[in-house]
Structure 1
Amino acid sequence: MTKELWINLPVKDLHKSKEFFSKIGFSFDPRHQNSNDMAGMVVGDSKIMVMLFPESTFKNFTGNEIADTTQGTEVLFSIDAASREEVDEMVRKAVEAGGTSFNKVKEEKLQEKKPQDQSWMYGAGFADLDGHCWNILYMDVTKMPKV
């Protein structure tokens, strides 16, 4: 049976992506610290590995073109937060590091959109330097509506 999950993600500039994700609090597997061809970003207590690869390397793996994140969303990463404040803090850090609040409406001119608040679930998100979307959620299951 499967023991681990590795998510492979293409990036335009590996060093800038590592710097971006470090600034918002992610860590990296030391096995790849000196590599110019990959970086293993560790996510969460379960230590899910998101492998960052330069686009050319990723394209060689898949044999396909890289998705244009300005035209569509190829994936939405959702991660949990311990509080509403942590949601806001992570999005703030991402924007300060060069990302974009992905809760903006895509029109000719982007307009700010508030975080989503459903009383028991609070979320917001950002797009990283390559336009990949990250959704940050805080959930208070004690307030979750009963069905």
Structure 2
Amino acid sequence: MAKELWLSLPVKDLAKSRQFFAELGFSFHPRHEGSDAMAGLIIGDKQVMVMLVPETTFKQFTSHDIADTERGSEVLISFDAESKEEVDELLAKVDRAGGTIYGKPSDQGWMYGAGFSDLDGHRWNVLYMDESQMPKG
């Protein structure tokens, strides 16, 4: 059975995408350090890897057209934050790094989150959840 999971996202400019996510505070897997072919963005304690892959290479992998992120979403990648403040801090970093905030922070009592798009229009969700306050049912 599978031991690891990799998600692959096509990017127009690998160097700019690396810089964008580094400015947000993400780290990269050393396996692809200095590579022009791809970058392994590390997400969370379980170290799920999101592969940033140049569009031409992505097309070779999939033998398929790339989704137009101006017109639709192919995936929503969500990750957690430690606090509401961390959500807000990340959004400030997204704004400074050139990303787009498409969903302003929303507070549902037990969950606080927001959505942003990276430089290539891929949509991301950052959520703080207080599971002790989560509705039962």
TM-score where L is the length of structure 1:
0.91
Structure 2 residue 124 is matched with structure 1 residue 134: yes
* 1:119 corresponds to which of 79, 85, 109: 109
Aligned length: 137
Q: Which residue of 1 aligns with 2:29?
A: 29
RMSD of equivalent CA atoms: 0.7
Structure 1 vs Structure 2: percent identity of aligned residues? Answer: 63
Q: Which amino acid aligns with 1:21?
A: F
1:143 and 2:133 aligned: yes
State the shift of 1:102 in Å: 1.7
Structure 1 position 58, deviation (Å): 0.1
- In structure 2, what is the equivalent of residue 50 of structure 1? 50
Q: How does 1:58-97 map to 2 (within 5 A)?
A: 58-97=58-97
Deviations 1:79-109 (A, max 9, x none): 0000000111111101110000021xxxxxx
* Bigger proportion of residues as strand: 2
* Rounded Cα–Cα distance in structure 2 between residues aligned with 1:20 and 1:33: 16
TM-superposed CA distance for 1:130, in Å, is: 0.2
Partner of 1:9: 9
Give 1:129 deviation, angstroms: 0.1
Find the aligned partners of 2:2 and 2:51 in 1 and give their Cα distance.
17
Structure 2: tracts of 5 or more residues without a match: none
CA drift at 1:34: 1.4
TM-score, normalisation: structure 2:
0.97
Contact residue 95 and residue 126 of structure 1 kept, 8 A: no
